[in-house]
Amino acid sequence: MDKIETYRFTVEPFHVDFTGHLFLGVLGNHLLNAAGHHSHNRGWGIDQLNERHYTWVLSRLSIELEEMPAQYEHVEVETWVESVMKLFTERNFLIRNADDGRTYGYARSVWAMIDVETRQPSNLLEVKDGDILRYVLTAEEKPCPMAKHGRIRLAKPAILRTVPTYYSDVDINGHINSIKYVEHILDLFPAEQYKKHRIRRFEIAYKAESYLGDTLTFFWEPSAQTLADGLPQEEQIEIRKQVDTPERPAGEVVVQAKVEWE
Amino acid sequence: MDKIETYRFTVEPFHVDFTGHLFLGVLGNHLLNAAGHHSHNRGWGIDQLNERHYTWVLSRLSIELEEMPAQYEHVEVETWVESVMKLFTERNFLIRNADDGRTYGYARSVWAMIDVETRQPSNLLEVKDGDILRYVLTAEEKPCPMAKHGRIRLAKPAILRTVPTYYSDVDINGHINSIKYVEHILDLFPAEQYKKHRIRRFEIAYKAESYLGDTLTFFWEPSAQTLADGLPQEEQIEIRKQVDTPERPAGEVVVQAKVEWE
C-alpha cells in the first residue's frame, strides 16, 4: 500500500467566503477527511480502532498557504505520516490544484491515540505490534516545507467575545467540533481585515474538550509587529470555557491559536 | 439530455450531529449543489446566467424525511424541474440511500430569476426563448409525494434570541448564506429536544436579504398541538433584521420557517 493517500474535492459555492476563496474551516474539514481516508485504508481508521477501544485525538493543526483555493477550483490533498513517537504521530498534507498542479500550500498535524474508556493516551508503538511504522515517510523522503507548530503564549490577553455553544457546534461525541473552533476564531476578525489581507498561516492547539452548553470566552493578543496599514501581523487567541464561574474564575483553556496575516 | 440529474455524496464524520445523523443544514447544502449541477449541465447554471446578467434566487425550500442519513452512508439526490411559471420555477428532490435504494425523503424548492443589476425578477419563459421548458417533468411524470410549501404565519411570537452576523455567515455576494439561516434556526432548540424527537419536515421561506454585520432577531411561536411529552409538535420561526432600530422598531422580515417534530 502506497504511503501517500490523495483526496480530491471541488470548492463548492457555499464553501467560499465573500472574497470567493474557500473558508479555512472548510479546508480544515477536507484535511481531516483526507486523514480519515488515509488511516482507514491502512487499517488505522477510527472505526477500526473503536473495535480495539482506541480513538484518534487531534492535538495540533497548522496550515500555511501561498494561495487559498477559489470557487469551483479542483483541489488535491496528499497526506502521509512523517513520524511516530510513543504518544504522538505527525501527519502532513500537501494541497495543490488538481488541474495545473500548482501548490496552494501545506499543513501539519499532531495526533494522539487514547483509550476510549479511560481517556488515557496509548503507546502508538505497541498498538497492532508497531504496524503504523510501515507507513512513515520521513522528512527526507517527503519534505513538508513549512515550519513546525510554534509556541502560543499570551502574556496580557484581552477578552474579545463570549459565545454560547449550540446544537450545530457539536460532533457525534457531543464535543465541540474541531472545525467549529476555527470558524468561531475567524469570526472574531472584521470584514475590513479580510478585504485588505489574507491569512498566510493558521495554527491551532487543542488543549481540552468542551461540550454542548459550555460558554466559550475568546482572549486575544495582537503582535507588536504590524502590517503597512497598522493592523497586527499576528494575532494569538485563547479560548477558555466557563470563565468567571465561582469554582474556577479564570476558566479552563480549551484551545489556543495563532493567525498570521499578509 | 436527461431531465433528471443525480448527485452523490457520503455522510462525512464532521457533518453529523450528536445523534450520528446528517445535519439538516448540510443536507440543504447538498440539495443546492445538486440543483447547481442540474442547471449548469443544461445551460442554466449561475455562471452561465451571469453572462446574461441574471442570477437564481432561492425563495422557498421544504424538506420532508422519513429518515435522516447517518454517518458514512452513501446518498443519492435526484433533482428535476416540476414546473416553470413566469416568475418562479419549482424544483424537486428525491433523497435515497445509494446502496440499498431506500428513500430517505423528498424536498421541494421555489426559485426566481433576477437581473443582477436592477434586482428585479425576470420572465423565465422569455429568457433563452423558453429553453427551460424542455426540462420540465410534471407531477404526473415524476411524482414528489410531499405537500407543497405551506403558509407560515406567526400571530403572537416571542423573541427567543438575537444574534450578530460574522464573517462565516456570508456567501460570495456578501449575503447571509441560505444554509446559515437553517443552522441558526436549528440552534434555537435544546439538546433534549433532539434526543427525544427528530425533525420530520422543515420549511423555510427567504423574504429579504441580510448582510454581514446585520443583527438577526429570532421570533418563535409553538403550535398548540403537542407531542406525548408536552413539547410542541410544530414551531414557527421568523427572523427579522435590525429590530428596535429607531427608523424601523419592528425590523424587517428576512426569513420565515416552520419545523415539524415527531
- CATH number for B250: 3.10.129.10
Task: State the smallest CA–CA distance between residue A33 and chain B in angstroms.
Answer: 8
Give the cell for residue A209: 474538550
**Counting beta carbons within 10 angstroms of the beta carbon of residue A126, is it exposed (0 to 12), middle (13 to 18) or buried (19 or more)?**
exposed
Same domain, A165 and A236: yes
- Asked if residue A142 belongs to a domain, the reply is no
Task: Report the Cα A153 to chain-centroid distance in Å.
Answer: 18
Examine the domain organization and report whether B23 and B120 are in the same domain.
yes
Q: Check A36 against B13: CB less than 8 A apart.
A: yes
Task: Please report how the helices A178-186 and A24-40 are oriented relative to each other, as an axis angle in degrees rounded to 10.
Answer: 160
- Restricting to B residues 99-158, those with a Cβ less than 8 Å away from any Cβ of A are none
Per-residue pLDDT of B83-99, as tens digits, reads: 999 999 999 999 999 99
- In a domain, residue B153? The reply is no
**What is the interface pTM, i.e. ipTM, of the complex?**
0.95
Please list every residue in chain B whose beta carbon sits closer than 8 Å to the beta carbon of residue A23: 168
Q: Looking at CA atoms only, how far is residue A198 from chain B in angstroms?
A: 13
Closest Cα of chain B to A181: distance in Å?
Answer: 12
> What is the length of chain B?
262
The rounded mean pLDDT for chain A is: 96
Please report, in angstroms and rounded to a whole number, the separation of the first and last CA atoms in chain B: 40
Tell me which of B23, B171, B172 to substitute to probe the interface with A (most A C-beta atoms closer than 10 Å).
B172
The whole-number pLDDT of residue B97 equals 98
C-alpha cell read off for B251: 425590523
- Backbone torsions φ then ψ of A88, nearest 5 degrees: -140, 155
Is residue A239 located within the same domain as residue A122? Answer: no
- Residue that the C-alpha cell 501561498 belongs to: A66
Closest by Cβ to B172, choosing from A20, A25, A171: A20
Say if residue B109 is in the same domain as residue B17: yes
User: Which segments in chain B show pLDDT lower than 70?
Assistant: none
Which string of DSSP letters, residue by residue, matches A154-206?
-SS-EEEEEEE--GGGB-TTSBBPHHHHHHHHHTTS-HHHHHH--EEEEEEEE
Secondary structure class of A255 (helix, strand, coil): strand
pTM here?
A: 0.96
Same domain, B125 and B181: no
**A164 and A252 assigned to the same domain:** yes
- pLDDT for position B256: 98
Say if residues A25 and A182 touch (Cβ distance below 8 Å). yes
Which residues of chain B neighbour A187 with C-beta distances below 8 Å? 166-169
Q: Of residues A128 and A101, which shows the higher confidence score?
A: A101
In a domain, B71, yes or no: yes
φ and ψ at B194, to 5 degrees? -75, -25
Chain centroid offset of residue A247 CA = 30
Give per-residue pLDDT as tens, A103-157: 999 999 999 999 999 989 999 999 999 999 999 999 999 999 999 999 999 999 9
Residue B143 maps to a domain? no
Q: In chain A, how many domains are there? A: 2
Residues B35 and B58 sit within 8 Å (Cβ to Cβ): no
Range of the domain at B175: 158-261
Burial zone of A160 (CB within 10 Å; 0-12 exposed, 13-18 middle, 19+ buried): middle
Q: How far apart are CA A114 and CA A57, in angstroms?
A: 7
What are the Cα distances from residue B139, in Å, to A31, A177, A204, A254?
42, 41, 51, 53
CB A110 within 8 A of CB A122: no
Phi and psi of A207, rounded to 5°?
Answer: -100, -35
